[in-house]
Structure 1
């Protein structure tokens, strides 16, 4: 068995791999990302057995061809005897290859699981196998997130009319992002505040949403009719779907139901532009936000386990 970086043809052929439980992208989704150039041969490693068959893969992903930002596909064939060791070896080989290209590793990885994954022994075992292998490679932080989706055949959440939405400049959004970080239930936000100031975190968020496929012109503040700003609405997009993006209510205005109107604004904004679906993600620990998605007609489609370095 050898682990090596693939040719473009080998990478495309590795889109399909037999694994005991789906914890990531489907074969069609992997093929789409490869065809779009968001998964590239120079960001990937394959494990190939003596017969030339692919028995493992680790493929990193980037929004463009410049640099990868996440480990997107990471799997070991169901019949490999010591699957945990090969999973770790794929990470080590990939990290070495990326480091030679000047990429800081390890990059985060997300496992996509059914919502009842704890009730399925095979899926739970696969999650634990990957969590252990990732931790050995330095990805020791684990966070559970819920993926939600609103579909165009469902009723739109009502526009209540108590808030006014308006565009604003970057300085305003930096100020509001920093203020919204106080008391946030978002696990990543709380972790980032352990080593960054609210202003630094806010500027990083601005940079992140500017890099997303959504338009900067979509960003809005949310204010009461007396012009008191109470929150932020950042409709965004992924490479495949319109997305809720960033939604926040400022600390002093929480608990008054504004989250429902801000979420309704974002959902209706996308729907009015013809989006067939709107996706969103929140931490499993953020029960109030998950409840808001359900009230707005979003359904929980899957659970995501995020692995990353401290």
Structure 2
């Protein structure tokens, strides 16, 4: 068994590796990312058998082609001998290769699995194996996330009558992000608050959403007609679709149905701008938010399990 950095031709060939697509991206999507330069040979590792057959691949992904930010592809070919050794070797050898050009290879990985994956033994077995190997190699924090989707022709709630939505400054949004973090059911928010202050977390959140494809001019503060602020709405976008982005109800206003109104506003905003599909994500443990998506006509289309470094810095 051998592990090494591929040439571009070998990386393209690795995109066609038979794999457990139920826990990852399709090979067509992988090839598209290679051609776009977001998956690169110098950020990759492939595994071959003693006979020279391709049996595994690991590819780190970078949004701007300057440095990788996540382990996007991590597969062993179905039926390959010693799958645990293949998966572990791809991580250990791949990190050495990536660190030689970038210096930071302990990056997160996301398992993309179908809805109801626990009821599919072959998928559940693959997920369990990958989580065990990931944990043994420093990616010991797991968070299951639910991917929702609204498609053209779906339910559209009426305009939220109790609230109005107004622009605000970056400073105001930073304060609201910090306020909304209190008692949040978002797993990453809770983890970040173990390491930093709500103010620092809020500044990072604002910077993140400013970096997304969505426009800053879309952001709104949600308030009553008397001017009392109850939450915030950050419609956003991905490179391919409009996205719910971020919405929150301030702690003192939770439990009064405002989440439905803010979600209705964001949904109607995107539809009004011509969106035919709107994506959204929430943590599996955030059952109130998942229920709100369901009430708003969003369909659960995929489950993602984020594997993060065991030690957050």
Aligned equivalent of 2:281 = 281
Aligned equivalent of 2:265 = 265
Aligned equivalent of 1:97 = 97
| SS in structure 1 at match of 2:22 | coil
1:175 and 1:199 in contact (8 A); partners too: yes
Taking the aligned partners of 1:27 and 1:264, their CA distance within structure 2 comes to: 35
Q: 1:69: Cα distance to partner?
A: 1.1
Aligned equivalent of 2:131 = 131
For residues 164-198 of structure 1, what are the alpha-carbon distances to aligned partners after superposition, in whole Å with 9 as ceiling and x for unaligned? Answer: 11222211111010000000011111111111100
Taking the aligned partners of 1:246 and 1:181, their CA distance within structure 2 comes to: 12
Q: 1:49: Cα distance to partner?
A: 3.3
1:21 and 1:126 in contact (8 A); partners too: no
Taking the aligned partners of 1:133 and 1:38, their CA distance within structure 2 comes to: 25
Aligned equivalent of 2:47 = 47
1:46 and 1:57 in contact (8 A); partners too: yes
Aligned equivalent of 2:219 = 219
Aligned equivalent of 2:169 = 169
Taking the aligned partners of 1:66 and 1:96, their CA distance within structure 2 comes to: 18
Taking the aligned partners of 2:221 and 2:149, their CA distance within structure 1 comes to: 23
Q: 1:98: Cα distance to partner?
A: 2.0
For residues 235-290 of structure 1, what are the alpha-carbon distances to aligned partners after superposition, in whole Å with 9 as ceiling and x for unaligned? Answer: 11122221111111110111111111111111111112222211111111000000
Aligned equivalent of 1:192 = 192
1:156 aligns with 2:151: no
Taking the aligned partners of 2:255 and 2:103, their CA distance within structure 1 comes to: 43
Aligned equivalent of 2:230 = 230
Structure 1 residues without counterparts, runs of 5 or longer: none
Q: 1:100: Cα distance to partner?
A: 1.9
1:58 and 1:94 in contact (8 A); partners too: yes
Structure 1 pair 20/64, CA: closer, same or farther in 2 (3 Å)?
closer
Q: 1:29: Cα distance to partner?
A: 1.7
1:3 and 1:45 in contact (8 A); partners too: yes
Aligned equivalent of 1:121 = 121
Give the paired residue count: 310
Structure 2 residues without counterparts, runs of 5 or longer: none
TM-score by length of 2: 0.95
Taking the aligned partners of 1:189 and 1:233, their CA distance within structure 2 comes to: 17
2:218 and 2:235 in contact (8 A); partners too: yes
Taking the aligned partners of 2:32 and 2:270, their CA distance within structure 1 comes to: 23
Aligned equivalent of 1:296 = 296
| SS in structure 1 at match of 2:84 | helix
Taking the aligned partners of 1:195 and 1:84, their CA distance within structure 2 comes to: 33
Q: 1:51: Cα distance to partner?
A: 5.0
Moved more, 30-39 or 134-143: 30-39
Taking the aligned partners of 2:258 and 2:192, their CA distance within structure 1 comes to: 25
1:21 and 1:123 in contact (8 A); partners too: no
Moved more, 132-141 or 101-110: 101-110
2:42 and 2:101 in contact (8 A); partners too: no
Q: 1:21: Cα distance to partner?
A: 5.6
